[in-house]
Amino acid sequence: MPDHLPAPEPLLVDDDLVLHGLDDETVGDGVVAFEAIWQHERVGRVELLHGDAGDAELIWLFVPEYRAVGVVERALRLVLRWGFDELGLRRVETRVEDEDRGAVRSAMRAGLRKEGVSRAVTVPGGRGDVMVLSALDDDAPPHTREGFIAQLNAALPTKRAIAQGVVRDAAGRVLLCELVYKNEWDLPGGVVDPYESPAQCVVREVREELGVEVEVRSLLAVNWLPPWRGWSDATAFIFDLGVADEELVTRATLQPREIRALHWVGEEELESRVAPYNQRLLAFLLGHRGPTAYLEDGLPAL
């Protein structure tokens, strides 16, 4: 159990939580250390490892049973604010084991935002994945609306969005791209950029990769793609781009690092040209003109 201590003059205070700075001789150069005392009990320690460039690393160790009562995030929040105000720090980073959900949660509640995962780094007992979180001096505080939304934006799961288009010729054949980087042919389109709508994306991708201007007519289907060949799952928006003349394949200006050639493909050729998930998708689309369908792995799911 924690040691019972008297209540000396505190350095940082948050109601019943106080933090005392430890003597420089006990922590070393470039380190500022605080002892956390909650209800007159020593419950943990927080350290800032800092240099001259305005960056610092935040580390902490608390008695396990006190993590659940909110002491950790309160202590981290006090030290972060002190580091920005007193040391003039610009950025504070922390690294915690990705499986330690309590530590990740405490860091986020203190105002640090998720940046990503460092894989297979050295951790106590071997190697493991480590979550990197950081706070900047001008970040909105976590208790404000702006800070709360920023935390969610950094923490919520993301899913790849893909936008593709169906272009048909007068005979009903579908335009497919012969790609440089894989054997299977595919519909024109690509991955949706941040802050770009799927409809904007398919128009942009066709312009960039084929040198052709298209107009979105309608949304034919939304297709959820399960993980496949190492790719994580994704959502694909499949748009109707109308009917084009056969000469489209000869007048297109192809982006050579992406597209090798264009082909008009009929239903009888699909099995030998496209991946299995696209076989299912195109088999459905060849007879579909609306309304918008919801598909999973190329098959109707509703």
Tell me the per-residue pLDDT of 114-131, one tens digit each, with 9 for 90 and over: 999 999 988 888 898 999
- Helix then strand then coil, in percent of the chain rounded to 5, is 25, 40, 35
For residue 3, the model assigns a pLDDT of 45
For the chain, the average pLDDT equals 89
Burial of 126 (0-12, 13-18, 19+ CB in 10 A): exposed
pLDDT value for 8: 39
Q: Which domains does the chain have, with CATH numbers?
A: 12-155 (3.40.630.30), 160-300 (3.90.79.10)
Confidence (pLDDT) at 180: 94
Specify the pLDDT at position 122.
84
Task: Tell me what pLDDT residue 11 has.
Answer: 75
Q: 11-46: per-residue pLDDT in tens? A: 778 888 999 888 665 566 788 999 999 988 899 999
Q: How far apart are CA 189 and CA 182, in angstroms?
A: 15
Structure tokens at 183: 């054997």
Low-confidence ranges of the chain (pLDDT < 50): 1-10
pTM, to two decimals:
0.77
- pLDDT value for 25: 53
